[in-house]
């Protein structure tokens, strides 16, 4: 018994030794910032982020009654609705096109997944040039079609959809690879059997392919919602939250409170509120969406 217990302790120590580098990185970049945010959310801070006066839950109550913060939350919800379904649908359509045994299909698979190698900053700058109201390629095509030019990033009605389109494009490579991997795991025997029974391509996709890749679609939806709520780079580079706060999503609002207004206590409270909202959305997705997922 003593030797067996000693071996278990040795095995445990060995496992912890292997985990030490990961735990160290998580402690520095995840655990400590999270604990620090909880601590700062209870205080009024100076311009350097040092806590000066205990404020209790006032930072939370003030944020939840702040019209600007509530507007940023609503803008984030709209942004999620624009980007998540759109990104999944476009990625799925491209994956369906690329999941064919055709000559040269590898080229298109590489092309469709190429945005995975484009950073948020680079992608945003590319689209900023395309959105240029004078020399941008989008307004050039509108002019060719004899349609009026659009101030994509300076009109409140167009700004959020324009930023959402950039976010969809940047995340397209990830969604495409994810969908393609799911499609390639669908047994060919089922498709062939359906084809023999007279099912056309749409019926095969609707009744065989989509149910079998529903775990992939569910995963893409959960990850997409989390990513969309945390979007920052596209907004910062393209619009800086404007025009008229039309693209001031919640992460950019938190950034403004912390690094422009130097109100780190309020920013920490708002970050924790965002964390709870993301957890709530994730729980609802698992509660309501997972029942439609068909695991093999």
We report the CATH number of the domain holding residue 242 as: 1.10.3720.10
Give the per-residue pLDDT at 16. Answer: 86
pTM: 0.90
Range of the domain at 90: 66-292
> Does residue 71 lie in a domain region?
yes
Q: How far apart are CA 266 and CA 58, in angstroms?
A: 9
Which tokens hold the place of 188? 């060919």
Q: Say if residue 204 is preceded by a cis peptide, omega within 30 of 0.
A: no
Determine, yes or no, domain membership for 10: no
Do the domain assignments include residue 8? no
Please give the residue that has the higher pLDDT: either 23 or 167. Answer: 167
Question: 163-185 pLDDT, tens per residue?
Answer: 999 999 999 999 999 999 998 88
226 secondary structure, DSSP code: H
Predicted confidence at residue 210, as pLDDT, reads: 86
Tally the domains of the chain: 1
Does some domain include residue 60? no
Tens of pLDDT, residues 98-120: 988 778 888 988 999 999 999 99
Residue 33 within any structural domain of the chain: no
In a domain? residue 15: no
Structural tokens at position 65: 């009654």
Q: Would 243 be classed as within a structural domain?
A: yes
Place 296 in a pLDDT band, splitting at 50, 70 and 90. Answer: low
pLDDT greater than 60 at residue 75:
yes
CA atoms of 118 and 141, how far apart (whole Å): 25
Sequence-distant (≥ 6) Cβ neighbours of residue 163 within 8 angstroms: 79, 153, 234, 235, 238, 239, 247
Let me know if 221 is exposed, middle or buried by CB neighbors in 10 A (0-12, 13-18, 19+).
middle
Q: Is residue 11 part of a domain?
A: no
Q: For the chain, list the strands marked E by DSSP.
A: 43-45, 51-54
As a whole number, mean pLDDT of residues 29-45 equals 92
């Amino acid at each position: 018994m003593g030797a067996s217990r000693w071996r278990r302790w040795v095995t445990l120590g060995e496992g912890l030794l292997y985990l030490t580098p990961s735990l160290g990185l998580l402690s520095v970049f995840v655990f400590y910032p999270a604990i620090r945010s909880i601590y700062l959310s209870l205080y009024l801070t100076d311009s350097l982020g040092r806590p000066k006066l205990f404020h209790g839950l006032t930072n939370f109550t003030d944020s939840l009654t702040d019209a600007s913060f509530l507007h940023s939350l609503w803008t984030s919800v709209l942004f999620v609705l624009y980007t998540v379904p759109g990104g999944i649908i476009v990625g799925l359509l491209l994956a369906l096109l690329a999941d064919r045994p055709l000559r040269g299909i590898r080229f298109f698979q590489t092309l469709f997944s190429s945005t995975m190698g484009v950073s948020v900053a680079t992608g945003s700058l590319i689209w900023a040039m395309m959105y240029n109201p004078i020399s941008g390629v989008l307004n050039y095509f509108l002019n060719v079609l004899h349609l009026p030019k659009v101030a994509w990033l300076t009109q409140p009605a167009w700004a959020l959809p324009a930023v959402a389109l950039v976010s969809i494009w940047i995340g397209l490579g990830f969604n495409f690879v994810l969908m393609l991997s799911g499609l390639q795991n669908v047994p060919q025997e089922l498709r062939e059997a359906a084809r023999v029974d007279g099912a056309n391509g749409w019926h095969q996709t609707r009744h065989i392919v989509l149910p079998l890749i529903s775990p992939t679609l569910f995963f893409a939806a959960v990850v997409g919602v989390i990513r969309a709520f945390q979007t920052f780079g596209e907004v910062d580079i393209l619009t800086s939250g404007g025009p008229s706060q039309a693209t001031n999503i919640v992460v950019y609002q938190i950034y403004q409170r912390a690094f422009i207004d130097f109100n780190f206590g309020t920013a920490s409270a708002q970050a924790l509120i965002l964390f709870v909202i993301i957890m709530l959305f994730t729980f609802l997705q698992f509660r309501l969406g997972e029942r439609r997922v068909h695991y093999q």
